[in-house]
């Protein structure tokens, strides 16, 4: 069982470009989440999905969009990347007792 | 937005010492979780506390949930170099299952 996989592992992106971060889980969890982690700011929720077909906004949703076409996949799209979106992005899914399982992260640098 | 404040932000100690990390909020949480994150990886759940006053032990780690379910502490006895990492607390207010994370305590245990 792989748990949660994220791709790419890291990326350097020119400002203004479109980018999709991929997240796949094989645990059949209903809820999934996208966070960004920045030094001094901790983990902040970008978007979430409680079940396939539904999504919701987190604390810092601007500039990001998500979709949840099925249970396993929860991609995060940056429509037009800006330098302030340089961060480490973590995808997570929720299992029993609100436990969140995190992926290994995607390190994104926007120049 | 509920705020979870962790202290201290940084902690550097010698192997064998004891330490306590605190997580405080003005909000009441239905559950509170502690995660540990190592460099280049996603956070990994250590424990979930649910009941006010609850104490849980995980080997040399002792977790306590405040009676009012607004605060928590993590105590490590006889720290080891393998305890080095970022410790995060996260609270769930019970709606939408979204976690609010503290900014973390970066622990360094020196040999």
Q: What is the pLDDT of residues B72-98, one digit of tens each?
A: 999 999 999 999 999 999 988 666 667
Find out whether the peptide bond into B110 is cis, omega within 30 degrees of 0: no
A87 reaches B (C-beta below 8 A): no
pLDDT at A89: 98
Band (pLDDT 50/70/90 cuts) for residue A97 is low
DSSP lists the bridge partners of residue B86 as B37, B106
Distances (CA, A) of B7 to A19, A29, B72, B78, B81: 36, 32, 11, 19, 20
DSSP-derived letter for residue B30 is S
Q: Would you say A108 and A83 are in contact if contact means Cβ atoms under 8 Å apart?
A: no
- pLDDT digit string (tens) for A1-53? 569 999 999 999 999 999 999 999 999 999 999 999 998 888 999 999 999 99
> CA of A46: which chain B residue's CA is closest?
B98
CB within 8 Å of B12: residues ≥ 6 apart: B107, B108, B110
Element (H, E) at A35: strand A31-38
B33 reaches A (C-beta below 8 A): yes
B94: left (phi over 0), alpha (psi -120 to 50) or beta: left
pLDDT at B94: 63
Examine the pLDDT at B63 and tell me if it is beyond 60: yes
- CB pairs below 8 Å between A and B: how many? 57
How far apart are the two ends of chain A, measured CA to CA in Å? 36
Q: What is the C-alpha to C-alpha distance for residues A99 and B47, in angstroms, rounded to an integer?
A: 9
Q: Which of B5, B25, B42 to mutate to test the interface with A (most CBs of A within 10 A)?
A: B42
B42 reaches A (C-beta below 8 A): yes
A40 reaches B (C-beta below 8 A): yes
A77 to chain B, closest Cα gap in Å = 20
Q: Would you say B72 and B49 are in contact if contact means Cβ atoms under 8 Å apart?
A: yes
Q: What is the C-alpha to C-alpha distance for residues B60 and B44, in angstroms, rounded to an integer?
A: 17
> CA of A9: which chain B residue's CA is closest?
B40
- Residues of chain B contacting A35 with CB distance shorter than 8 Å: 101
Reduced to 3 states, what is the DSSP secondary structure of residue B39?
Answer: coil
Examine the pLDDT at B2 and tell me if it is beyond 60: no
pLDDT at A34: 97
């Amino acid at each position: 069982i792989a748990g949660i996989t994220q791709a790419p592992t890291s990326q350097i992106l020119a400002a203004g470009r479109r980018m999709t971060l991929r997240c796949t889980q094989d645990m059949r969890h209903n809820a999934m989440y996208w966070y960004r982690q920045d030094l001094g700011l901790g983990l902040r929720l970008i978007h979430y999905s409680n079940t396939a077909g539904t999504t919701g906004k987190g604390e810092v949703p601007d500039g990001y969009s998500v979709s949840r076409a099925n249970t396993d996949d929860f991609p995060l799209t940056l429509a037009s990347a800006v330098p302030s979106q340089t961060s480490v992005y973590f995808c997570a899914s929720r299992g029993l007792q609100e436990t969140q399982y995190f992926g290994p992260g995607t390190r994104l640098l926007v120049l | 937005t509920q705020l979870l404040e962790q202290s201290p932000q940084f902690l550097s100690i010698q192997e064998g010492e004891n330490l306590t990390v605190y997580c405080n909020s003005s909000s009441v949480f239905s559950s509170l979780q502690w995660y540990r994150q190592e460099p280049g990886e996603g956070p990994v759940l250590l424990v979930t506390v649910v009941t006010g006053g609850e104490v849980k032990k995980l080997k040399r780690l002792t977790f306590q949930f405040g009676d009012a379910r607004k605060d928590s502490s993590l105590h490590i006895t006889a720290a080891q170099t393998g305890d080095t990492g970022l410790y995060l607390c996260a609270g769930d207010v019970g709606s939408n299952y979204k976690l609010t994370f503290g900014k973390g305590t970066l622990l360094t245990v020196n040999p």
